[in-house]
Structure 1
């Protein structure tokens, strides 16, 4: 799945997910940017400080809350590194595309 399709699917799902706030959305976008720079290969090594800067999150507590919630809500798989010299790992979970409500899904109909 391309980054643009992944972001489109995420935004559609985020519209109905009442638990997501703007900080979750900006953090997810920053994660996708890192994933894209990693040639869309999972897992991607991430730096907390880089993600905080990219997503405009200033507080470490907010960052940790958002990344754990994105993990718990199955948007990402987050594997924290507790070693100061090793980066944490994030795996992007592909969000299934939901069919458009007004367009029939042709693959579901017999030929």
Structure 2
């Protein structure tokens, strides 16, 4: 089952990734559990205020930093809606160890792109 592989691969990759800290692990695990409770919709649609409650992150800056880091490291694909009435989209990625870590820390939200169709 790909859903369980995503979680197992994330924790395996995070062990060897110095950019991922305990807060990143908590955010990823909380979002994954929410996704699981909703029966694995693709994409996961949620508002930031919902996600902040789920992840127990109080600060907007901290929440977006963890999401940006997880996105840039390739663990998730986050597509912000930039609209108050539309939820953002989040995709969980299957980790490819050879491509993990190609993103630098200088990326900003404007660099987020929708996943490409294969």
TM-score computed with the length of structure 1 as normaliser: 0.77
Q: More displaced, 53-62 or 71-80? A: 53-62
Q: Which residue of structure 1 lines up, in the alignment, with residue 18 of structure 2?
A: 18
Q: Structure 2: 5+ residue runs without aligned partners?
A: 98-118
Give the TM-score of the pair, scaled to structure 2: 0.73
Partner of 2:91: 91
Q: What is the SS of the residue equivalent to 1:69?
A: helix
Is 2:47–2:87's contact at 8 Å kept on the other side of the alignment?
A: yes
Alignment correspondent of 1:105: none
- Please say which structure displays the higher CA radius of gyration: 1
Other structure's SS at 2:95 match: coil
Secondary structure at 1:42 match in 2: coil
In the TM superposition, what is the alpha-carbon distance from 1:6 to its structure 2 partner? Answer: 2.3
Deviation at 1:2, TM superposition (A): 4.8
Q: Distance in 2 between matches of 1:57 and 1:91?
A: 20
Q: Indicate conservation of the 8 Å contact 1:44/1:90, yes or no.
A: yes
Preserved contact between residue 77 and residue 91 of structure 1 (Cα < 8 Å): yes
Kept in 2, the 8 Å contact 1:75–1:95? The answer is yes
Residue deviations 1:68-98 (CA, integer Å, cap 9, x gap): 111111111110011111110001111259x
Secondary structure, counterpart of 1:91 in structure 2: strand
Figure out how many residues of one structure are paired with residues of the other and give that number.
97
Give runs of aligned pairs for residues 70-81 of structure 1, distance below 5 A.
Answer: 70-81=70-81
